[in-house]
Structure 1
């Protein structure tokens, strides 16, 4: 079953709770979205609040994917670059597909919808994201058209003695 993607959905309690559940479940399943398992909803809530504040301030936009039951099944945040020399590209943060929906092409669909959304923002020419090395994520993003443009060795410490590269990826939209 395909997901339905919506840019800038109304932020209400069901959406906030759905995003919180999505982020927590993705993290607990080992997803590289800012936490290592196990994680609590309260730990994730602070990250979600930061995204919601950026949205309220007009610095970030939410792309949400909903399943056939209307539940949040995927999400990504498109964040405008505030550096005056870099406003021609945006960041894609916290890219997530719920574990129950993984393996069905929904990640590719989410990235395609994010690219379409970015193309609709005046002046945006590229999407930049970072991903945690050691999980093969850079190969997935490359298969979706992103190119590795940089790597910071051992920049992410997921546990003592377990440092991962921070991989920088870019998708030109032209």
Structure 2
């Protein structure tokens, strides 16, 4: 059954807790979403608060996918550039699909829905995202139309002696 996506959902305790649970579960399953497992909800909470502050300030928009049971199953934050020469593109952050839903095409659906949402925003011509190298994510994003436009070798240290590339991907919307 497909996910139901909403751009700019009403923020309430259920959404907050759902995203916090999603982010924790994705990280602990090995997902590259800013943390290294094991992680707790309390470790993730400050980053989620930062995302909600950016939303409240109009610097970011939330795309959330709910499953057939109404649980938060996927997210992506569309974050605007504040640099006056870069306002024609935005960043896609915290792209996640819950592990119980992976392998069903929901990641592709999330990215396509995010691209459609970005297209609906005035003046947005492209999306950029960054991903952790060494996990095959760049191949997945490329299969969704993104092109690798930059790579910083060893920029992400997930553990002593385990440095990964920071890979920048770009999707033109025009």
Which TM-score bucket, shorter chain as reference? over 0.9
Counterpart CA distance in 2 for 1:71 and 1:2 is: 13
1:150 match = 150
2:123 match = 123
Q: Any residues of structure 2 matched to 1:79-118 within 5 Å, and which?
A: 79-118=79-118
What whole-Å deviation, never above 9, does each CA across 1:96-129 have from its counterpart, x for those lacking one? 0000000000000000000000001000000000
Q: Any residues of structure 2 matched to 1:9-158 within 5 Å, and which?
A: 9-158=9-158
Counterpart CA distance in 2 for 1:70 and 1:83 is: 37
Counterpart CA distance in 2 for 1:8 and 1:115 is: 15
Aligned-partner SS, 2:127: strand
Counterpart CA distance in 2 for 1:169 and 1:71 is: 29
Counterpart CA distance in 1 for 2:164 and 2:84 is: 30
Q: Find out whether 1:171 has 2:152 as its counterpart.
A: no
Structure 1 unaligned blocks of 5 or more = none
Aligned-partner SS, 1:83: coil
Counterpart CA distance in 2 for 1:129 and 1:169 is: 5
Aligned-partner SS, 2:131: strand
Counterpart CA distance in 2 for 1:167 and 1:87 is: 21
TM (normalized to structure 2)?
1.00
The root-mean-square deviation of aligned C-alpha atoms, in Å, is 0.3
Q: Structure 1 residue runs of 4+, over 4 Å off? A: none
Counterpart CA distance in 2 for 1:47 and 1:142 is: 27
How many correspondences in the alignment?
A: 174
